[in-house]
């Protein structure tokens, strides 16, 4: 196996071990997959008054998706997120930048 295959296998192992089930609502209807979720974060700097915002990110196996489009939705627990951007890393995983649009909890 080459580096690319090793990297894809490692990414899949991490997602399988640490991922949670999420429901992706895209072109082909709802699909349940595993992904590693990192919620949004808003940090305030004490002295400057600036705020640093990091969007919610979901990392999934690229094999689970044929095509991800902006504005597709992902349900994680009781929260629904909209896909703002997707980045395929070329090594077996896709990072989805998300924005929360509904919280049913």
Domain of 56, CATH number, reads 2.40.10
Give the C-alpha separation, 17 to 77, whole Å.
18
The C-alpha atoms of residue 80 and residue 14 are separated, in whole angstroms, by 23
Query: What pLDDT is attached to residue 16?
Result: 79
Residue range of the domain that includes 96: 3-103
pLDDT per residue as tens digits for the range 38-51 = 988 766 666 777 77
Q: 32-88 pLDDT, tens per residue?
A: 999 999 988 766 666 777 777 788 999 999 888 767 888 999 999 999 999 999 998
Q: What's the number of domains the chain is made of?
A: 1
Rg (CA), the chain: 15
Quote the CA–CA distance of 38 and 64 in Å, as a whole number: 19
Predicted local confidence at residue 59, as pLDDT: 93
Residue 57 in contact with residue 87, Cβ under 8 Å? no
Q: Which pTM does this prediction carry?
A: 0.80
pLDDT of residue 46: 67
């Amino acid at each position: 196996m080459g580096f690319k295959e090793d990297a894809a296998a490692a990414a899949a192992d991490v997602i399988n071990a640490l991922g949670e089930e999420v429901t992706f609502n895209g072109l082909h209807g709802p699909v349940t997959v595993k992904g590693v979720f990192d919620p949004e974060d808003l940090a305030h700097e004490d002295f400057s008054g600036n705020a640093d915002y990091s969007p919610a990110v979901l990392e999934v196996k690229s094999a689970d998706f044929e095509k991800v489009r902006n504005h597709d939705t992902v349900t994680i627990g009781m929260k629904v997120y909209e896909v703002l951007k997707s980045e395929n890393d070329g090594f077996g995983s896709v990072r989805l930048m998300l924005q929360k649009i509904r919280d049913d909890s």
